[in-house]
Structure 1
Amino acid sequence: MATKPPSLDLAPTNLRPSLGRNLTYGMLDSLGRAIVTGRYEQNPFPTEAQLAQAHGVSRSVTREAVKMLTAKGLLSARPRQGTVVQPASNWNLFDTDVLRWLLERKFSVDLLRQFNQLRVAIEPEAAALAARFGGPADLGKIDAGLARMVAAEQGQDEPLEADIAFHVAILTASKNPFYMQFHDVVTTALRTSIRFTNRIKGRTASIADHEAVRDAITARDADAARLAMRHLISDVLELIEQVEAEREAPATAPSS
């Protein structure tokens, strides 16, 4: 008589309804989130058969999801070792699924800082390129993004989506295919970054700072566009440093 496999930390049996209509992507999302949040740090990653049984899906669905996680750097399959979870240093942080899972786990100011450090290396140059190469339609989309932000200040649009539209329009206007493909990462991570800064500042993004970027791009002043965007993002980094300093500051001793 065959013995049962050892008990592992698996998701509840038969998750077919919760995986949604696309079982492969549903399983990808379930397993990816479990890996990133550390479910398998102290437990071996389940076998293909165990995963299929636990999630109530076919072996082919499980196999495809594992392949996709391997391509994202979260898993690796080795002879005689089976499928193992890779260290975080191997994860593809430019993959929007991986970034989303990271941002959905326990909030990390470090991750937020690192993301904005990347932004300050990319977006000012994208703004400078937009000033040089953006066409009339591109400038129109930047204007439209700013108009949405103004409308959001009056409660007529969603502030987060308006802010994202503005930044994505500038990446597109750069006409650089590498910067243009960065828009998925910006869209995903800005959702956390903007919520954080708006919550701390108690207000939405500075319209004046965004106008300065738009005006410089419209004037075809690449240097001014670069500086204006750098100022806009540096303000976020300064806010993060301020929050960290307040958290680390020792409590003031009560006066006697």
Structure 2
Amino acid sequence: MAQNRLRLAQRRANTQHQNVLHRLGLSIVSGEFAENAILPGDGELLARFGVSRTVLREAMKTLSAKGMIHARARVGTRVLERRHWNYFDPDILYWHAETGIDKSFLTHLAEMRMAFEPEAAALAARRRTDAHVAELFSWIGKMETAQSSGGDFVEADLSFHIAIAEASGNPLMRSMSALIEVALEITFLVSSPIPNTVMHARSVARHRAIAEAIEAQDDDAARVAMRAVIRQGSKRVDAVIKGADGDHWINV
């Protein structure tokens, strides 16, 4: 779990712009700055973050592009309702992970995976090259040897799913893999098959079934195998949620 936390930390501030963006984004997602609320004025925010007006304005522009805020002359900058937010944006998803994840959010992520990944696997089965197949089995090998390192397993698993999006031959599927990557990482933050030996072996076997279906160019089998992998991850997460008193938020 500690290694998974590090992946989230790596997305945090390396520059003043990223620092302000991260802190403002978290404040909005957490509800400190609620939907339809007017953000504090520039003077207050400049004092709060200790940055230049240029840095603050760039962070505001980035949040506006994500659909989170809207500035109006003589009114101020208003936090938009969540229905306007771009939930395909990795930052917004990671900010949700940092502020705490509830059951409905995890369910929504799983539903998005189920909508896209089985079709990506089916397309990969039709269009894959020998090089694609070799890459998939290479990542499975790395998943299998990750006996004790959750970080190594996550890295191999993420790379496996991205490789399927690449093999699909559809650039839109590849673009969607950014959301899939975040969904997978959040799932692993909540529950990982490492170091549980039985869960680890089951996860590797089910991923291998996807690769074998793609190698055989069996698109129906690829869909079925991908659905099994997504369901397995959802079941692990559900077990953690039940242990955390149902709909309570899980801090990761």
Q: Alignment partner of 1:198: what SS?
A: coil
TM-score between the two structures when normalised by the length of structure 1: 0.81
Aligned to 1:178: 172
Aligned to 1:51: 45
Q: Alignment partner of 1:163: what SS?
A: helix
The residue type equivalent to 1:180 in the other structure is R
Aligned to 1:28: 21
Structure-to-structure mapping, 1:1-256, within 5 angstroms: 21-41=14-34, 44-153=38-147, 158-198=152-192, 202=196, 203-204=199-200, 206-240=203-237, 247=245
**CA offsets, 1:150-170, max 9 Å, x none?**
111365971111111111111
- What is the RMSD computed on CA atoms of the aligned residues? 2.6
The number of residues matched between the two structures is 230
**CA offsets, 1:6-49, max 9 Å, x none?**
xxxxxxxxxxxxx8552112211111111111111297411123
Asked if the contact 2:93/2:182 (under 8 Å) is kept, the reply is yes
Compare relative contact order (CA 8 Å, sep 6+) and give the higher one, 1 or 2: 2
Q: Alignment partner of 2:192: what SS?
A: helix
Q: Alignment partner of 1:36: what SS?
A: helix
Asked if the contact 2:68/2:85 (under 8 Å) is kept, the reply is yes
User: Structure 1 residues 225 and 20 mapped into 2: Cα distance closer, same or farther (>3 Å)?
Assistant: closer
**Residue range with higher mean Cα deviation, 152-161 or 183-192:** 152-161
User: Structure 1 residues 143 and 37 mapped into 2: Cα distance closer, same or farther (>3 Å)?
Assistant: same
Tell me, in whole angstroms, the C-alpha distance in 2 between the residues paired with 1:200 and 1:145. Answer: 16
| Unaligned stretches of 5+ residues in structure 2 | 1-11, 247-252
The residue type equivalent to 2:222 in the other structure is A
Structure whose residues are more often helix by fraction: 2
Tell me, in whole angstroms, the C-alpha distance in 2 between the residues paired with 1:20 and 1:198. Answer: 26
Cα offset, 1:138, TM superposition: 1.9
User: Structure 1 residues 41 and 156 mapped into 2: Cα distance closer, same or farther (>3 Å)?
Assistant: closer
**CA offsets, 1:90-137, max 9 Å, x none?**
111000111110111122121111101110110000001111112222
The sequence identity of aligned pairs, in percent, is 36
Tell me, in whole angstroms, the C-alpha distance in 1 between the residues paired with 2:53 and 2:236. Answer: 48
User: Structure 1 residues 206 and 85 mapped into 2: Cα distance closer, same or farther (>3 Å)?
Assistant: same
TM-score between the two structures when normalised by the length of structure 2: 0.82
Asked if the contact 2:162/2:181 (under 8 Å) is kept, the reply is yes
Q: Alignment partner of 2:146: what SS?
A: helix
Cα offset, 1:50, TM superposition: 2.1
Asked if the contact 2:150/2:195 (under 8 Å) is kept, the reply is no
Tell me, in whole angstroms, the C-alpha distance in 2 between the residues paired with 1:155 and 1:235. Answer: 20
Tell me, in whole angstroms, the C-alpha distance in 1 between the residues paired with 2:16 and 2:242. Answer: 45
User: Structure 1 residues 137 and 200 mapped into 2: Cα distance closer, same or farther (>3 Å)?
Assistant: closer
Tell me, in whole angstroms, the C-alpha distance in 2 between the residues paired with 1:107 and 1:26. Answer: 22
Aligned to 2:3: none
